[in-house]
Structure 1
Amino acid sequence: MKKSLELIFVLFSIIIISCAGKNTETTENNNISPNDLKLVSVLNRQFNAVLSSPEILPPEMSLAEQNSQSSVIKGKIEGKNTRAIYLQEITREKLVFVDSTKVDNDGNFSFNVSKFTTPTICFLTLNSNNPPGIPIVVGAKTKLSLAIKNDGWITYTVKGDKENNLINELYKIYLNHDKNLQDFNREVSKIDPALVTDSLRTVVGDRFKQMQKNRTDDISEFINTKESCLALYFAVTFLFEEPDILLMETAYSKLNKTMPTSKYTKDLKITIDSVSPLEVGGLAPEIELQNFDGKMVKLSSLRGKVVLIDFWASWCGPCRRENPNVVAMYSKFKSKGFEIFGVSLDENSEKWKAAVQNDGLTWIHVSDLKGWQSMAARIYQVSSIPFTVLLDKNGRVIAKGLRGADLEAKLDEILK
């Protein structure tokens, strides 16, 4: 599932160093090249800078502004020349213009807004209606003071309600990560990729992925630990390429308790319900089939374990050739909470049982002996075998079609 407003919140295009190009490393020359030395220097940097907040304070509200029946947004901006501020509502599809105001010679600006009757996620952009900008929440009588610093990266402090304090906290989390990702990419891009060894290219890719993971982990922690607020909706909707369905459900559960009629709560519910059970993050459909002894076994009985659903058959040559790898992985991971749920597309029970015994497949096996007409195969849209579906401990899809080294790497990752 892709986020629908991806480009609006991408502050920079992060392009990792290309793996294409000539490899100058030879078996005769093991000396580190100047380009490799430059890259090693980049890799040794921490890239964990924290952007500084504005030195100025948010302006105070006058008594008239405090008592206004409309929403009042006022602020002061320091840094690069800013002539105008644009207020826009954030929707899944686009930014919707609400109002704009000029910035005076001292950096002051203000809005009086009467459009919103319920808390609404908005975006303030500088000098045009295009990003980058800062997220805020505006309701019926919101009173919000901002101090903004624009030095290429936009930071701000806020004096207002809980909603705006929390969305500001979230903004700082993802902005600092985006800044460090851009700094890393900028340093790497200075080095000619054609003159760097393949091994260092791999290290660069791994480092970049780890930095992305750190960003994801910090945003996920915010979603899991903060109280109900619209920043949760903002995070799961706009800050992930493919958001975890569990995070979406966490956000929905919190919002549904405090603002069940909000359009954001309803939108999350629609999004969650639209996720196919076979998509990554979806809750895997139940399978209940007979084992060798005629006993019905449910897939859901394995909740609490990481489960590999393995569709195969005794007559399938590629399946039989893959079985030694599966046996090795089962031996390696079963003590760590890993189980295999083998679903056979056989029609002959004796051949099925013989293949299990001959190949040493000691995990759970089920079948309805209907071949390609197997109900489980139809539910899981199996069109060729071997075919696997990997589930987390809650029965949600982690990945599909993994085998061999790819499957082992994924199990190493989740069963550390």
Structure 2
Amino acid sequence: MRKLMKFIVLSGLILGGCTSVKEYVIRGEIAGNDAKLYLSVVNEQGKFDTIQQVESQKGKFQIKGILDNPKIGFLTVQDRKGRIPLMLKDTIFDLKIKGNDLGDVRNFSARGGVLQNRKDALDRKEEKIYRERDSVLARFYRANEEDNIFGKMHEMASLQVMDEIYDKEENEYIQKNRDNILGLYLVFYRHSYLNYERLKLKFDMLSEEMKHTPEGQVIDKRYKKLSEVKVGAYAPNFKLPTLDGDSVHLYGKSATIKIIDFWASWCGPCRKENPHLVEIYKKYKDKDLLMISVSMDTDEKAWRKAVKEDGLEWIQACDLQGADGKAVRAYRVTGIPHIFVLDGNNKIIGEKLKGQELDDLLAKYLK
């Protein structure tokens, strides 16, 4: 009997030893001073949970762990910005950290496994697409200091073209990886600042399995919030300080049609659209049109200067909080110019309209 039990235990040990363990190994090198590194994952509440912590020694570190299923990991480094995404699965990762801003793909490289290598390939495409980004930004800031409006507009247009090219590449990657964690990550990492249309396009590409992951549920929550501010919904109320030192209360103003224009003095496309808005105001100001421009400026002097230069005679509002402004957050504005058109009951009847589309809608309601 004892021999039989020994045989059973021994057999179990042998079989257990043959069972494949889903272990990941992250081997890394980090430039600069040694630091603590933290590996995190997203939990069911959408928060980052630290699952491992190590400290580099003479510029090297190693992290090991076991997974039931592939998972998106996020590596952060003490006193450095950003997170390095890792498509965690049972494989070996080789990681090199070269800079302090880990939100910039130029400052690190991470390879290991099919999905991580695909992510690295996309990073290198991003790096190529935005190769001139620093130069463009430098020219933009120089034009800003020189009050060169046309120079700023030109550089902003260049950045927008880069964004559009990268977005197309990213969407192709999402579609090809719709049923794995790489596709999920590519939607998750930008979900908090994409507008409804762009987030919907990307989120709809994901498989149902990916949508029901913790990261997918976080995206879905944001997606539903964004969907609340759309054509057919009632516009959120707001009260903001105005250029003349007073305040404007959206629901406190009555009109057949209301236009809310989100813009900023530093936004080239916004400044380019302003002459058209001036024409619209002159045409319909006596036909019960209310216009409110909400600036995303943080520099009051620059805001006032732009209003004067562009001849914006309607209500100008701004709380000087930029992207953190109350109205900006309430309307989920992530890109400008962004126009909302409301009816007399404050229901949204048009969004992101400009040019002839805006003219046609106004002509329908304002005779």
Tell me which of the two structures has the higher relative contact order, counting C-alpha pairs closer than 8 angstroms and 6 or more residues apart: 1
The answer to which structure has the higher helix fraction is: 2
